[in-house]
Amino acid sequence: MTASTANDQRFREFKMPDVGEGLTEAEILKWYVQPGDTVSDGQVVCEVETAKAAVELPIPYDGVVHELNFGEGVTVDVGTVIISVDTDPGAGPASPAAAAPAEAEPAAPAAEEDAEPQGRQAVLVGYGAAPSSTKRRPRKAANGVPPQQEPVRAGLQAELNGHPAPVAPVAAAPAAPAPAVTVPSAGRPLAKPPVRKLAKDLGIDLASITPTGPDGVITRDDVHAAAAPAAAPAQSVAAPSVPADRPAAPAAAEGFDPVTRERRVPVKGVRKATAQAMVTSAFTAPHVTEFITVDVTRTMKLVQELKQDPDMAGLRVNPLLLVAKAFLVAIKRHPEVNAAWDEANQEIVHKDYVNLGIAAATPRGLIVPNIKDAGVRTLPQLAAELGELVATAREGKTSPAAMSGGTVTITNVGVFGVDTGTPILNPGESAILAFGAVKLQPWVHKGKVKARQVTTLALSFDHRLIDGELGSKLLADIAAVLERPKRLITWG
C-alpha cells in the first residue's frame, strides 16, 4: 500500500451536504469543534444556514479533527470539503505524501480531478462518501513554509475559528516577522471572521493593516486604529449635509456609509430564498385576491370555552387554530382547490392530502413550515402540531423537510394589528388565506346594531387552478364556519 493510499484512508474529508432539497450552498454559522478535538460518528460539528433553515451537521467518522477548511460566516458550495478528520491519530505524524508541497500537485494527471467518484456521495446529513470516492488533497504550504512548521499552521487555523491558539514549540516558530505571515493557501492577511466583517463594514483593506496579534493575526483594535485616521475626513465631508435637527447615524453601524448615510445588507440565507420564491410566484401564477368581512364573535367565545376543556389541556388554543380548522373544512367541501399546476407536463395535479402551511416571522426571515396531512387531524392534534411548529420556528430549528410539500397556507397578519392584505402564493401552492385583526366594531346583529368582534379575511388563489366561482365559494365557506362554528360539526 502506498503512502498516498494510506493517507487517503486515514484522513477522511467531510463535504458540505445537500440536505435533500436541492440546495446549492450554505453559510457556516458556528463551529462546535476545533483542530485537535476528538469526534465520534454522529456528533454535531457545526451549524449551517441554508436558504431555508439552520441545520446542524453531524460528522460520519470517529477520530480527531485535523483541519477546518472554512471559518464562521463563510458561504460554501454543496460538495465542498469543510472539515477533515484523522481516523487513526495513534499512527503518528502524517507521512510526507500528506504534506507534499504545492509544486508536487501538477504531477498528478489532470483527469484525476475531473474523474467521477464511484459509490455513495455526501448528499444527506449524516452520510459521508465511501472510501473509494474520497481523495486526500495534497496540502499546500503557506508561502513555502516547510512541513516542520505545521504546529504554527495548526495554531493559526484554531485562531481563525475563534479558539485560543495552541502554544507551538519554540523550534517550530518561523523566523520571519509576524506581519509576513499569511493565511495558509489563501494569500490573505490573517484575521478572524468577525474582524474581517468589521474591516469590511468600515471600508478598511486588511492588507494595509500591521497586525499586532499573536502569529500575525489582525485584531479588532488593529482595525479600529486603522479606521480612526480615515473617520475624521469622512465625517467632515458628511457633516454639512446632515440637518442640525437630525442626528447622524453612527459610522460604526453595520454596513453604514457615513457619507451617503446608507446601510447595505447582503441578501443571503432565508431572505434570499424568500425573495426568489416571491418573484417566481408573482410572475408565474396569475393571482386573484378576494375579501370578506365576518362576525367572529361566536368563534371567539368558543376559543375561551376550549381553553377550559380538559381535552385541550396543555395545548395552545387561539383564534388561528379555529381559522385553520375552518379552512380545512372548506377545502373538504371543495377538494378541487387542493391542486398544483404542472407546467412541464401541462397537467393539474389534484392532491388527496392537505399540507397546511403557516407563515412564520423568525429572526432569520419569513418561513412557511407546514403541518403534514392536516386535513385528517382532530382539533387537539391540530393544536399540538401548530404549537410545535411555532415553537420550532422561533428557535430557528425548522428543518427544510418541514417547509416542503405544502399545498395551501395561512398568514396571520392580524397579530400585527393589520386588517388584511393581498398575500402572495407560496410557490407550488394553490391558495393562501390572510387572517386579519379581530376588532370590536358596530355590526347589525338580529336587526340591531351591536358591538361585535369582526375580522376581514383575504384569499389569494392561482387563477389557473381556481376560477372565480370556486374561489368565492371557498372563502364564503370559511367565513360561514367562523360566523357559526357549530358548522365544524355539521360540515366536518
CA 108/CA 115 separation, integer angstroms = 12
Three cell numbers, residue 90? 495513534
Kindly list the distances between the CA atom of residue 195 and the CA atoms of 161, 202, 361, in Å, as whole numbers in the listed order.
12, 11, 30
Three cell numbers, residue 209? 493593516
CA 254/CA 260 separation, integer angstroms = 14
Q: Which residues contact 63 (CB under 8 A, 6 or more apart)?
A: 12, 38, 39, 85, 86, 87, 88, 89
Would residue 406 be called left, alpha or beta, if left means φ above 0 and alpha means ψ between -120 and 50 degrees? beta
Question: Are 338 and 489 within 8 A, CB to CB?
Answer: no
224 catalytic per annotation: no
Question: Are 330 and 481 within 8 A, CB to CB?
Answer: yes
CA 84/CA 91 separation, integer angstroms = 16
Q: How many residues does the chain have?
A: 492
Count the neighbouring beta carbons within 10 Å of the beta carbon of residue 4. Answer: 15
Q: How many CA atoms lie within 13 A of 404 on its CB side?
A: 11
Could you give the 3-state DSSP secondary structure of residue 486?
coil
Of 67, 30, 32, nearest in space to 49 by CA: 30
Q: Which of 66, 163, 287, 463 is catalytic?
A: 463
Cell 495552541 found at: 166
User: What is residue 29's DSSP assignment?
Assistant: E
User: What is residue 93's DSSP assignment?
Assistant: S
Three cell numbers, residue 375? 386535513
Question: Are 265 and 255 within 8 A, CB to CB?
Answer: yes
Three cell numbers, residue 296? 367572529
Question: Are 482 and 320 within 8 A, CB to CB?
Answer: no
User: What is residue 178's DSSP assignment?
Assistant: G
Three cell numbers, residue 273? 430564498
Strand residue runs (E) in 177-224: none
> Cα angle at 450 between 444 and 456, to 5 degrees?
65
Active site residues: 463
